[in-house]
Chains A and B, each alone.
Chain A
């Protein structure tokens, strides 16, 4: 059973068996515009919740992806590095950034579920 959670910084994390796959939301990619470069964290790096984990460069500007939870980086999406436009075309699927092995599953409770994220987006207008 996987579950998906969202951060207010517009990252998503899909968690299964203590591992979470992380990416940016459709809202984020639309705000950024065409993504042309992605820099991922080092494999095996230890990230604390809120750490700058990856860089997303769009034609407009550079933005950071912050770790929504703490843990160790356990997989990287090389396909995204090769074709950064995946972050625009399939932000929630093939456009994932990296996988993290979570230290503390209770950190997920501080994130938003589907419904809460939708409500948060509605507030942003």
Chain B
């Protein structure tokens, strides 16, 4: 049985095809915002990669910010539940999932069976999200993918406000004007995101093992800063950004499997 999970996020569209809820056949990530052709491109790409057709999919599940708008979905489910399912699949003994996406941050608490038991989301504010990093990278004229290696070069990380993206932007400009080196500013930015997200994690409770999912998880600078803030190791997998789509695909498999067994 093939199932397709589609995660339509605020800045990227992701798709994962699973075979029998066990093997990832193909995946795709397209940078595009909700409401564009991004989701269709992601689905086309994942089907091309797998050599399968849409008709081969037993079930399609949509999740993410744009889940309501994807008409080809058989079911839709919140991205929080999907990240919980996906993270449990990759790390069976994980109890806390930190998902930092393009425009929000979420912390999930999983019970012993890997089910979502509790969660917290950031306030309506860009601080502590991927958007914060986008804004800061743009000021520094860096690519997002450069942030990790720049942060690694830091010798005296700068202090950046964790309160507000707009204020932090001014702070970064002031730091640069004062001659602070770019790697130190970048390390300060990563710590700023980590500090903001850590308070959200503490709201739910730090229960090991802890993993990171979502696009920002790819940034080692933020991961390291979060490990320091929380004082626990943070698990990471290169499928971090696909975790929502993976969870959606697994949800589709479980749903169909249950249907077939009743």
- Is chain B found bound to chain A in the same assembly? no
Q: Contact residues of A with B, CB < 8 Å?
A: none
